[in-house]
Amino acid sequence: MGYKIGKVFSFSASHQLPDLPAEHKCARLHGHNYRVEVTFRADQLVPPGFVTDFGDLAPFKDHLDDKIDHRHLNDVMAHPPTSENLATHLAIWIIDNLEPGIHGTLISVRVHETDSTWAEYSPDRTK
């Protein structure tokens, strides 16, 4: 219940998944033009009627631009850079660095590698 907002961000990056068989195309170095959708929720709106101001999400865009865009994700992430792990990685960054300063609560991060494929992570908010 409550209100939801979403915003889409994009970046380009390379990665490879070397634990896959050599003949698997994702084992080879390749890149994607990623699209990341973040969704926030709130039970109540803050003036003038926001879950959170979209402008308050700018630090996440700055993080993507500075630390992720045009990088090799194998060098950026501690886990294999699958879309699932990337969604988790980005959600943790948002929870740790963005959420303390905004009104809304993150409910999901969806990572698109292509127009037809995506992975989504929704943090457990019951803890």
Spatial strand order of the sheet with 117-121 comes to: 71-72, 3-15, 30-42, 105-114, 117-121
Q: Is 36 among the domain residues?
A: no
Per-position b or e across 27-44, b if 16+ CB within 10 A of its CB: eeeeebebbbbbbbbbee
How many structural domains does the chain have?
1
- Rounded-to-integer distance, Cα 19 and Cα 27, Å: 7
CB 124 within 8 A of CB 42: no
Q: Is 42 among the domain residues?
A: no
Q: Per the confidence metrics, is the pTM higher than 0.85?
A: yes
Catalytic residues: 26, 70, 113
Give the domain extent around 124: 57-127
Tokens of 20: 């896959």
pLDDT tens-digit map of 34-89? 999 999 999 999 999 999 999 999 999 999 999 999 999 999 999 999 999 999 99
